Homo-oligomer: A and B are copies of this chain.
Amino acid sequence: MRSYNEYCAIAQALDVVGERWSLLIVRELLIQGPSRYTDLRQGLPGIATNLLADRLRELEAAGLVKREEAPPPVATTLFDLTERGRQLEPVLQALGRWGGPLVRRPIGDNEFRSHWLAVPLEAHLKDHRPDAPAQTIEVRTGDQPMLVEVKHGSVDVRPGKADHPDLVLTGTASQVLGLLLNELEFNDAKQRGLKVEGDTRVLTRVQP
């Protein structure tokens, strides 16, 4: 992209990450950690393969991304954020908070990937009972199950299944999000088709 050529931190930041797809690539790496090229494509529906290759090179040249050759038997290239790249987290959080209201209104045919749930959940959920024992919620929606772990005052969201989750939520992304973010009443959510199994007290522990 053409540089704005301004002596201004905002403009120079945008010179680096203002191009189409760049910040979404950073989002993927922040949520997913070290990722293969193909996994990145999975999380960026619609990206042209040449653009993904271009952007990864640019981000690498800018020092935000590094590529590592995974040792055998995996023997594949892994892309990961550098420390400088990881420092973009506050930018993505601010964007996510600002964009929240846009997502909550009716949605049509948007693409969805389960791991994107980490954005609103880590932004808005809190552990209100940090001294209580750890609890987990399994969320079944989208392309893979997600695990919400509430422990020691922090809320962690990552792909995976729990052995014995305290609560299991099964439904559409907006149902699950509505309930967890306390924007949809419990009974409304169930009426709209959300399946809730387990100990619902963990909900009030994390809801905003």
Contacts and interface: CB of A to CB of B under 8 A. Distances in A.
Interface string A188-207: 00000000000000000000
Contact of A45 (B6, B12, B93): B6
Contacts of A24: 4, 6, 10-11, 14
A8 interface: yes
Interface in A102-146: 102-103, 107, 109-112, 116, 119-120
Interface stretch (A15-23, A32-40, A68-76, A163-171): A15-23
25 contacts: A5-B45, A6-B111, A7-B110, A7-B112, A7-B173, A8-B99, A8-B103, A8-B116, A9-B95, A9-B96, A9-B102, A9-B119, A9-B120, A10-B24, A10-B92, A10-B119, A12-B102, A13-B95, A13-B98, A13-B99, A14-B24, A16-B99, A18-B18, A90-B98, A91-B98
